[in-house]
Amino acid sequence: MIPGYHLTLGITVTMLSLIVLIPLASVMVSALKLRPAEFWSLITKPTVRHAFATSIGCSFIAALINSVFGVIIAWVLVRYEFPGKRILDGCIELPFALPTSVAGITLSKRYSGILGTPLAKLGIKVSYTHLGLVIALVFVGIPFVIRAVQPVLEKLDGQYEEAAFMLGANRFQTFRRVLLPEMMPPVLTGFGLAFARGIGEYGSVIYISGNSAREHTQVISYVIMQKLGYIDYASATAIALVMLILSFVLLLAVNIVQMKQAARTNNV
């Protein structure tokens, strides 16, 4: 028992309750005041359904892209030495430090101007489309995958790869049978965190999406803000409850993956 245990535990529980538990409980209580039929009708309105589909679909695609390129970037940062490596490594946290609205404005301006013009000549439109949403979500989500995979690669003993080569395995077989099983749990963790972040993202996607109900580019966080602007608190809390449940499910999945990885590491 460390000194001050009861005091620090009390402060932790108090802060957790004030900042997390009480606000979440208030959302749940407000949503549960609705009758089941009323709750279902609010969350199944066409605009709400399309917003859920847009947020979940684009977030899933962005998380998949991040899982692939996040592993590649983490591999380069761990396995290679090159000029500017420290600067590149430090820039990974830029999406965390940068205000999301600034990222949204920058991406929207670039893909409707300097980068958008040559892409438009190729018939590719980015701004105010689902493609723009995916790009914005890739930007805010890729650090989760990189920072989840990077420590595992740093601690991975190179003797396993040497043993695989000595036993006749080629590079692809070594990656698939030796490296990939070790990297899969952190990749899944990063995927889940990036996916959860993307579903609730607002600032970075609000400008580049166009928020068009006709084009189905409205994200669910924008719909909540829209409902609050219309003083439609019932719809806002109903949607918020669904997002809360989705977040808990994703975080539960992430924690299960992490516990299995910890158990596997301890057994080894």
Q: Residue 58: name the closest of 256, 194, 235 by CA.
A: 194
Q: So what's the pLDDT on residue 251?
A: 84
Q: Residue 135: name the closest of 168, 118, 112, 163 by CA.
A: 112
Cα–Cα distance between 114 and 135 in angstroms, integer?
Answer: 16
Render each residue's pLDDT in the chain as its tens digit; 268 residues: 566 777 777 888 888 888 878 877 877 787 778 888 888 888 888 989 999 999 999 999 999 999 999 999 999 998 888 898 888 888 888 888 888 888 888 888 878 777 777 887 888 888 888 888 999 999 999 999 999 999 888 888 777 778 888 888 888 888 888 888 888 888 988 999 899 889 988 888 888 888 888 888 889 988 988 888 888 888 888 888 888 888 888 888 888 877 877 676 665 5
pLDDT in tens, 10-46: 888 888 888 878 877 877 787 778 888 888 888 888 9
Residue found by looking up tokens 């600032």 in the block: 203
Cα–Cα distance between 211 and 161 in angstroms, integer?
Answer: 49
Residues 6+ apart with CB under 8 A from 177: 164, 169
Q: So what's the pLDDT on residue 65?
A: 95
Distances (CA, A) of 176 to 150, 161, 183, 255: 18, 11, 10, 24
Q: Residue 108: name the closest of 131, 84, 80, 74 by CA.
A: 131
The half-sphere exposure of 42 on its side-chain side, counting CA atoms within 13 A, is 22
Cα–Cα distance between 31 and 34 in angstroms, integer?
Answer: 6
Distances (CA, A) of 45 to 41, 109, 234, 237: 6, 32, 13, 14
Instruction: Count the Cβ atoms, other than its own, within 10 Å of residue 118.
Output: 9
pLDDT in tens, 54-90: 999 999 999 999 999 999 999 999 888 889 888 888 8
Q: So what's the pLDDT on residue 255?
A: 83
pTM: 0.85
Q: So what's the pLDDT on residue 69?
A: 94
